[in-house]
Every structure is written in C-alpha cells, then in structure tokens.
Amino acid sequence: MTLTDAPTVPASTADERARRLTEAGAAWAERIAANPSAADLTYTVTGQGAGSVASEIRAGKHRFIVDEPAALAGDDVAASPVEFALGALISCQIVVYRLYAQALGIVVDDISIEAQGDLNVTKLFGIDESGRAGFSSVRLVVSLTGPESAERYDELRAAVDEHCPVLDLFANPVPVSVSLA
C-alpha cells in the first residue's frame, strides 16, 4: 500500500478536535469512576505470513501489510516492522500531544514528528551475538507550531513523555511471553 492508497483521514478543525478530546476524556473518566477495571484494556492483533517475508496484520477491522526491503529478503511492498514501530511511536506521540495540549490549555496549531532509530543487523543475521537485535537508540524531533512560549511547550513535552504508552514501550522493559503452538 502506498501513501496514495492509504485511507483518507477526515479533516478536523481545532474546535472539533478540542470537542472530541474533551468528550473522550470525560467519557473515560466517567467509565473508570463507575468501574475501575474498565481502565484495563487488552489489544489483540493477529498476523499471517505472506510472500517472501511479509506479514498480513489484522487489528480489529483494519488490515495492513508489513514487509522488508529486498536487502532483507523482502518484496518491499510495505514498510518494515521497525519502520512500523517508529510509526507507532510517532502516532502515539501525536495523540498524546493533542490530548495533553487540550488538558493543559496549550494551543498547538500543528504538529509533526520525525523518528530515527539506529539498528545494527549483525545480531539479526547471527553474525555477532554480542549486540542488541533491536534499536540501540531512537531519536524524536517534535515540531510544534502555535502561539505559546517555549516554556509552555516544554511543559507539554514533559507531560507527553510521562504519559505516552508507546514511548513507555520503547523506554522501559516490558514482560513478553512467547509460546510455540
């Protein structure tokens, strides 16, 4: 799937976004107050091998393809798993920036983020077992536009850093269990 084939995201005004964020926050607060266990969510995503090394991923009603470039035995028909991981980090950051901008009364006119991740493939290919298989470092450059002071945007960044679920996945070990069926 190319970007031109991707679903179109509906346009949203700042007022519409503010209304939706406020309503969602209030609804979750009410739901959790009535039943604290409602805060505990479990996400289920499934995948099936396709092509050379690609995967067809299903998440709820959504389907997407993950592949590798030819240099990593793929057909290069979609972004790679590590690119999707960086994309997940970016998209989560954007959500949480908007959520906390609304909560803190900080105006953000526009937001864009670039992520870079450093990965050495020697462990992936069994050439050198001493390093990490995953990213050795990840860098985010967040670009915000709006009328606020640098101090207010720093306050927002601190709130996002503290509350972004995918940033937490990258920054902290997460227990993972693997079983072979």
The CA-CA-CA angle for residues 153, 155, 160, to 5°, reads 90
Measure the CA dihedral 67/72/76/78, to 10°.
Answer: 30
Q: How far is it, in rounded angstroms, from Cα 25 to Cα 72?
A: 42
Task: Write phi, then psi, for 136 (nearest 5 degrees).
Answer: -85, -25
pLDDT, residue 2, reads 54
Q: How far is it, in rounded angstroms, from Cα 167 to Cα 58?
A: 22
pLDDT range class, residue 8, cuts 50, 70, 90: confident
pLDDT, residue 4, reads 57
pLDDT, residue 140, reads 97
Q: How far is it, in rounded angstroms, from Cα 93 to Cα 141?
A: 11
| Residue, of 14 and 59, whose pLDDT is higher | 59
Distance of CA 96 to the CA centre of its chain: 10
**pTM beyond 0.85:** yes
Structure tokens at 81: 């798993």
pLDDT, residue 7, reads 79
pLDDT tens-digit map of 83-119: 999 999 999 999 999 999 999 999 999 999 999 999 9
Provide the strand spans (E) within 70-169. 110-118, 137-145
Q: Does residue 167 surpass a pLDDT of 90?
A: yes
Helices (H) and strands (E) in the chain, counts: 4, 5
Contacts of 181 by beta carbon, 8 Å cutoff, 6+ apart: none
Task: Write phi, then psi, for 47 (nearest 5 degrees).
Answer: -145, 150
Q: Does residue 75 surpass a pLDDT of 70?
A: yes
Mean pLDDT across the chain: 94
